[in-house]
């Protein structure tokens, strides 16, 4: 009877160890590389577009703003306009309000502003004056 109790205890310990070992999270790494730092993870999340646009919506934006409305960038300040998502647009750069036609077809951009640079539409979030999306 004592041997049976010891066997059951050993079996329980092995089973518990197996379950705990298999339930722990695993971080996969390529040999020779280090794990991503929390700064790198935060930076990659920061540069993600804050506005989700479909390919069709991007096409509509480009057609309406660049081709139909023929909005040209301000020549004297074109070099100062950032084109990376997450960058802050300097205060002196004049931003255009989102056209009614675009806001009707892409409602999530209704409150946003934009500026054109090199044929690209730079969409700016008015809350923090950061580039929210880039439509090329």
Q: What domains lie within the chain, and their CATH numbers?
A: 2-44 (no CATH), 49-135 (3.10.450.160)
Whether residue 134 is predicted with pLDDT greater than 50 in this model: the reply is: yes
First vs last C-alpha separation in the chain: 77
Whether residue 23 is predicted with pLDDT greater than 70 in this model: the reply is: no
Q: Give residue 6's Cα distance to chain centre.
A: 56
pLDDT band for 27, please (50, 70, 90 cuts): low
What pLDDT is recorded for position 70? 67
The beta strands (E) that lie in 6-129 are given as: 96-97, 113-117, 120-125
What pLDDT is recorded for position 83? 80
Q: What percent of the chain has pLDDT over 70?
A: 69
* Contact of 89 with 130, CB cutoff 8 Å: yes
Whether residue 63 is predicted with pLDDT greater than 80 in this model: the reply is: yes
* pLDDT tens profile 92-126: 888 889 989 999 999 999 999 998 888 888 999 98
Query: Averaged over 117-136, what is the pLDDT?
Result: 88
pLDDT band for 77, please (50, 70, 90 cuts): low
Whether residue 38 is predicted with pLDDT greater than 60 in this model: the reply is: no
Per-residue CA distances from 87 to 7, 90, 93 (Å): 64, 9, 13
The Cα angle at residue 130 between residues 95 and 112, in degrees rounded to 5? 50
- CA pair distance 88, 84, nearest whole angstrom: 9
Of 4-13, 19-28, 42-51, 113-122, which gets the smallest average pLDDT?
42-51
Per-residue CA distances from 72 to 7, 89, 101 (Å): 81, 17, 18
């Amino acid at each position: 009877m004592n041997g049976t109790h010891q066997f059951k205890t050993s079996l329980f310990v092995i089973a518990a160890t197996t379950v705990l070992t298999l339930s722990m999270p695993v971080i996969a790494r390529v040999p020779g590389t280090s794990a991503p730092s929390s700064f790198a993870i935060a930076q990659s999340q920061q540069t993600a577009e804050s506005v989700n646009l479909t390919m069709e919506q991007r096409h509509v934006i480009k057609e309406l703003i660049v081709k139909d409305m023929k909005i040209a960038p301000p020549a004297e300040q074109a070099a100062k306009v950032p084109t990376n998502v997450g960058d802050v647009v300097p205060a002196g750069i004049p931003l255009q309000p989102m056209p009614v036609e675009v806001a009707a077809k892409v409602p999530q951009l209704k409150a946003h502003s934009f500026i054109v640079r090199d044929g690209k539409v730079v969409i700016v979030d008015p809350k923090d004056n950061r580039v929210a999306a880039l439509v090329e």
